[in-house]
Amino acid sequence: MRFGNGGRSSNLEDGRGGGGGGGGRVLGLGGSAVLLVLSLLFGRNLFQDTGVTPSIVADQQGGNALSAADSAREEPEVLFMSRVLDSTQAAWSRILPQYGVQYRDAKLRIYRDAQQTACGTGQSAMGPFYCPRDERVYLDLGFFDELQTRYGAPGQFAQAYVVAHELGHHVQHLLGTDEKMRQAQQQNPGAANQLSVALELQADCYAGVYGSVAQKNGQLDPGEMEQGLKAAASVGDDRLQKQATGTVNPDSFTHGSSAQRMNWFKRGFDSGDPRQCDTFGR
């Protein structure tokens, strides 16, 4: 994918070094010492003012401070996620007002291993997820290693699909779709899985809508749309169940089959129109 240069998005939060809590960036030992001296000189808590955690404090709290080597190794991926985040949200900021809804930005919080959220404790085993209570997408960067090695979906647009799918849930939240779905599940518990599948397939379609915008903006290289299709197929319920148990049980699907996920992603991509993403009325 092709993006302009730039630093991290103001909507990206880095929780990799805060011991799974809600803290921000972790400062290295050298930086911590300098900031401590300045705090004493000026009589102010500059750690709090700058929103960083000294690495020595993170260690005392049992956290895993981000090493300089890990930070340097992961920074290109972090910057890419940041640009996908801004690109996706810019697209929806232009699209949603056409349908009478004002878009407001979500936050993307990257973390390692575990993270406290307004929706409970997030863990890397859960994969990326959106929390409507704090309007944040939570993402353990290690998931992208699994996307490539375990699920066989490499490539930048495969990663962008993941972020765009989760931001699709944010769009649903702004439209009130998620709340209507939960109410329908309460009224008809027997259809809970079917409704969950519809919600997830719509987020796939919304990810495709973003892909369409990215292509029109010249941000996709040849063949990258296929990476999105492959990523959608790789996390289909039938494929995951087959890998885990050797059998497939459609009644227990919560996200949709590989074919469904690919079809709805492609529908959003081909149309570029969120009105074509009515998975509930299909």
**Are 233 and 165 in a shared domain?**
yes
pLDDT of residue 52: 47
At 229-247, the pLDDT tens digits run: 887 777 787 877 877 888 8
Question: Is 35:27 a contact under the CB 8 Å cutoff?
Answer: yes
Does residue 103 sit within a domain? Answer: yes
Mean pLDDT of 193-222: 93
Does residue 159 sit within a domain? Answer: yes
Does residue 10 sit within a domain? Answer: no
**Are 103 and 30 in a shared domain?**
no
Question: Is 180:126 a contact under the CB 8 Å cutoff?
Answer: no
Which residues contact residue 214 at a Cβ distance below 8 angstroms, ignoring those fewer than 6 apart? 1, 87, 91, 160, 220
Residue 50: what residue type? T
pLDDT of residue 68: 66
Q: How many domains does the chain have?
A: 2
pLDDT of residue 175: 95
Does residue 8 sit within a domain? Answer: no
Which residues contact residue 59 at a Cβ distance below 8 angstroms, ignoring those fewer than 6 apart? 65
**Confidence band (pLDDT; 50, 70, 90) for 126?**
confident
**Confidence band (pLDDT; 50, 70, 90) for 114?**
confident
At 63-96, the pLDDT tens digits run: 455 666 677 778 888 998 999 999 999 999 999 9
pLDDT of residue 57: 35
**Are 34 and 99 in a shared domain?**
no
**Are 106 and 74 in a shared domain?**
yes
**Confidence band (pLDDT; 50, 70, 90) for 19?**
very low
pLDDT of residue 265: 93
Question: What would the two tokens of residue 132 be?
Answer: 């409507």
**Are 139 and 27 in a shared domain?**
no
Does residue 92 sit within a domain? Answer: yes
**Are 261 and 156 in a shared domain?**
yes
Question: What would the two tokens of residue 202 be?
Answer: 């719509």
Question: Is 216:272 a contact under the CB 8 Å cutoff?
Answer: yes
What is the rounded average pLDDT for all residues in the chain? 80
Which residue range is the domain that position 37 belongs to? 23-60
In angstroms, the CA 255 to CA 235 distance is: 8
Beta partners for 109? 13, 138
Does residue 281 sit within a domain? Answer: no
The domain boundary, picked from 60, 87, 110, lies at 60
Is it the case that residue 216 has pLDDT exceeding 90? yes
**Are 169 and 212 in a shared domain?**
yes
Question: What would the two tokens of residue 213 be?
Answer: 């915008």
At 251-277, the pLDDT tens digits run: 878 888 889 999 999 999 999 999 999
Element (H, E) at 111: strand 107-111
More confident residue, 163 or 39: 163
CA atoms within 13 A on the CB side of 186: 6
Is it the case that residue 203 has pLDDT exceeding 90? yes
Mean pLDDT of 212-225: 90
pLDDT of residue 66: 60
**Are 267 and 208 in a shared domain?**
yes
**Are 113 and 184 in a shared domain?**
yes
Going by their DSSP bridges, the two strands 136-140 and 107-111 should be labelled as parallel
Is it the case that residue 222 has pLDDT exceeding 80? yes
**Are 246 and 139 in a shared domain?**
yes
Is it the case that residue 281 has pLDDT exceeding 80? yes
Closest Cα partner for 83 from 140, 173, 10?
10
Question: What would the two tokens of residue 5 be?
Answer: 């240069």
Q: How many CB atoms lie within 10 A of CB 44?
A: 11
Does residue 141 sit within a domain? Answer: yes
* DSSP assignment string, 126-143: G-SEEETTTTEEEEETHH
Question: Is 249:171 a contact under the CB 8 Å cutoff?
Answer: no
Mean pLDDT of 221-227: 83
Does residue 164 sit within a domain? Answer: yes
**Are 77 and 164 in a shared domain?**
yes
pLDDT of residue 241: 81
Coil, strand or helix at 262: helix
**Are 228 and 94 in a shared domain?**
yes
